[in-house]
Chains A and B, each alone.
Chain A
Amino acid sequence: MPSGMPNPFVLWLILSVALGAAAWFGIRKELRWRAILYGSFLIACGVAIWPPYAQGDQQGKIHLGLDLRGGIHLVLQVVTDDALNVTVDDAVATTREQAATKSITFADAHRIDSTSFAVDGVEPARVKDMRLLLKDFFREWDVRDAGEGKFVVAMPDVMVKDLRNKTVDEAVRTLENRVNQLGVSEPIIARTGSQGDQILVQLPGVKDVEQAKRIIQKTAQLVLKLVEGEPATSREALLDRTGGKVPDNMEVVQGSGPTAGQPVFYLVRREAIISGRDLKNTRVSVNENNEPAVSFSLTPIGADRFRRETARNVGRRLAIVLDGTVTNAPTIREQISGEGQISGGFTTQEADELSKQLRAGALPATLRPLQELSVGASLGRDSIRSGVMASAAAMAFITVFMLVYYRFSGVNAVVALTANLLILLGAMAYSGATLTLPGIAGVILTVGVGVDTNVLVFERIREELRAGKTVKAAVKNGFERVWITILDTHATALIAAAFLFQFGTGPIKGFAVTLVMGLVANVFASYFVSKFLFEWVLGSGTSTAPAQFSI
């Protein structure tokens, strides 16, 4: 709240009290309370809108949609199978370890698909022990004895569903963290899609679209793993040392070598010493060769483990693996405690992005882009201009027409339309709904519906006057008779708008929002406010002749 501008509530109270005082003395008794009620409501809407658009460092109260402000809109699918695969892989590793500690031998353990794994060729004497082990460690899973020393362990559907759900939630949280670092105001990050496995990301006003997309989509899975022996220039050369087969607790990871285009292969332990979860903070720094690097500090638990493992493995290499690729693999020279550094030929910008991604945490699964929309800021500005132009043209035309055709009652209609717009915009400002370009079209249509309500009432009053009723009776009957019609027309329009809502976010939702709010505002403005104005102007006398009443 800027200095010099009173608190909106206080402002509303002051204006309402002033209005109340004026109404008390200026308006006759039976209309007084309605005047105060309607007036203070309209004042509240006016206060809610102010200031409507951004002035200096103060944000406007009307939130503009992406199509009017510029920015990006992404729909990403979370490949939840990734997370399931990791879980099953972990389960296979656990089975291997536990079988080893209980010295149960078996031929093979491998993942079948993203939700199950198999253990083959368990030695006949220990099949029972293996069954117990599996049942013990995988209580929630379905352990099936396939006979002949074979077991199939599968996640039940409930667990799969739960895990997929958690994966998407975690991805949403990670994206929120990352987007916070981009410094975007009013970002939207929400689950969407019929399966609930899609994430919608809206970043209004983003300048560097490419950078924003990179930061959002990179998995940024960091692990530190111990290297067995020295790296080799080919996979085969590496595996020659271990007899052509990757040992059970090891895996081969590729990294870029000293010369570009020539990869280097590392044999590393499967089990990570440090993972992304152990990071406390990261920052951009430089390494000993003055190249950009990312320094990280560890959480107390991570630091403990890091100290213990580095002390035990001085002289060996430690591979820093980012998204499945070794960025660098320095030799451990001494015990390292809570700090480390990743370098690997980054540019300063890359180091900065990596630092942000690591700080925000890794994504639990790959994100597959389904839809991308980027709107340039100048296109948004031009859209606002044409939208406002069209609205202004419509308003001006309607005002002139109503004043010419209905004369004094036309003033009533124009007041009602203005009240309608005030309520519509106030409701949008208050609820934080966004105004999109189709939303502006919705505003124009709202004005159209408002005119229709006025015309319905006015034409009916004219009819009653023609039938020889007094002005007061004509107005009273006119409003009463069209009430049901107004209710019906608004209800059907609301049904149409409700279906537009189902299109989810984006410009069309903005259209539905303005349409719904506009319809509700219209009933109040074009019916109740208009009725009040007529009653106020007609006064309490009964002798008003039709000729004196201008409609």
Chain B
Amino acid sequence: MLEILKNPQFDFLSKARYFIGASILIILGGLAYMLSTHTYMGRNPKGYGVEFSGGTQVIAKFSTPPEVDHVRAAVNAVDSNAVIQIFGPPAEGRVLIRLAATSASETVLDADVQAVRQALDARYPENRVVEVSSEVVGPVVGADLRKKAVMLTLFGLIFQLIYIAIRFKGAIWGAAATIAVFHDVLVTLAILAFCHYEMTLNIIAALLTLVGYSVNDTIVIFDRARENLRLKRKESLRQILNDSLNQTLTRTLISNGVTFLSVLGLFLFGGEVLRGFGFTMVVGILVGTYSTIYIASPIVIWWEGHKDGAPRPASNTVKAAL
């Protein structure tokens, strides 16, 4: 039998306070960074993809791979603040051009797309644009979608909390899982902001999925703890949770490792559109695994301990809570 770990006996929870402290620091630092740079947050936030911010995005395919500087020179005539970058493998000859919402009118939305296309054809005639893909979003639609995304993510979290609270017959288990998930979302957001990823619908989808994954991990451990509480009534909750973490450790490592490598494949080979999605999942799975062990379980112990006013909660009380 090939085994990664033979009967692991790590004491995960003794160091919990340091990890919680580190997490709080990262989250506060991330929030400070996002608020000070207006990334995703605050008034007139930056860093949103075209579907959220409104505006025009053009992906032009040239017959031969173009020079970004030539493209920039051509597009300058339309919008001097345009963002221009190579899209996908350079050999495919695609360039992404992003403009702020400028000339969209009541009846014509794609004026900018046409203008960019004409500018490219005129200033860059030796290398024809063979295909144009574009996305144009009116400003109202973008703002609406942004609100909707935040609401849906929050409601998604709340409903998962309710489910766990009902299944574990105790709000603290649901709350602990949810705090861990909030932790994951905030840390992931901070890393996304720090790496200058644009907030797109795909990334929102990845965040919601990662919420599901993180909750999964927590549930696996909590389920095991619940089973152990039934079997080993003499032991303290702390001991039981630590045992449960150890018993499920191999599963945590294998499952999350496999999923991690799958999404790493997505990040590396999934193409430009899925890169942000892949990155979010890669970060999220790492953060989610960490938070299950070092955030969710300590919260339960801390709460149950304080409830009784005793460092070692009587197992009867815990059983009653389940």
Contacts and interface: CB of A to CB of B under 8 A. Distances in A.
A25 interface: no
A401 B135 CA distance: 41
A366 B108 CA distance: 12
Contacts of B223: 484-485, 488
Contacts of A507: 201-202
Contacts of A372: 109-110, 134-137
Interface in A330-387: 366, 368-379, 382-383, 385-387
A489 B131 contact: no
How would you classify the secondary structure of chain A's contact residues: helix, strand, loop or mixed?
helix
Contacts of A508: 201-202, 204-205
B45 to A, nearest CB: 19
Interface residues of B, number: 75
Interface of B: 1-3, 7, 59, 61, 88, 92, 94, 106-110, 130-138, 140-141, 144, 148-149, 152-153, 155-156, 159-160, 163-164, 167, 201-202, 204-205, 208-209, 211-213, 215-216, 219-220, 223-224, 227, 247-248, 250-251, 254-255, 258-259, 261-263, 265-266, 268-271, 273-274, 277-278, 281
Interface in A412-466: 437-438, 440-441, 444-445, 447-448, 451-452, 455-456, 459, 462-463, 466
Given A372-B136, A438-B277, A492-B216, A394 B262 contact: yes
Contacts of B140: 370
A218 B144 CA distance: 27
A481 interface: yes
Nearest to A394: B262
Main secondary structure of the interface of B (DSSP, over half): helix
A340 B109 CA distance: 35
A511 B131 contact: no
Given A397-B262, A407-B2, 20 more contacts: A370-B109, A370-B138, A370-B140, A371-B138, A373-B136, A376-B59, A387-B270, A390-B270, A397-B258, A438-B274, A445-B259, A455-B251, A462-B3, A484-B223, A493-B213, A495-B159, A496-B211, A500-B208, A503-B204, A507-B202
B132 A368 contact: no
Contacts, number: 215
A378 B131 contact: yes
A511 to B, nearest CB: 5
A82 to B, nearest CB: 12
Contacts of A512: 205
A146 B104 CA distance: 43
B22 to A, nearest CB: 26
A489 B220 contact: yes
Nearest to B145: A503
Given A496-B208, A496-B209, A508-B202, A503 B131 contact: no
Given A463-B247, A503-B148, A393 B269 contact: yes
B88 A375 contact: no
Given A390-B274, A455-B251, A495 B132 contact: no
A202 B137 CA distance: 15
A317 to B, nearest CB: 30
Given A452-B216, A495-B159, A551-B1, A373 B134 contact: yes
B208 A448 contact: no
A389 B132 CA distance: 24
A503 B201 contact: yes
A383 B132 CA distance: 15
Given A372-B136, A456-B251, A488-B223, A404 B2 contact: yes
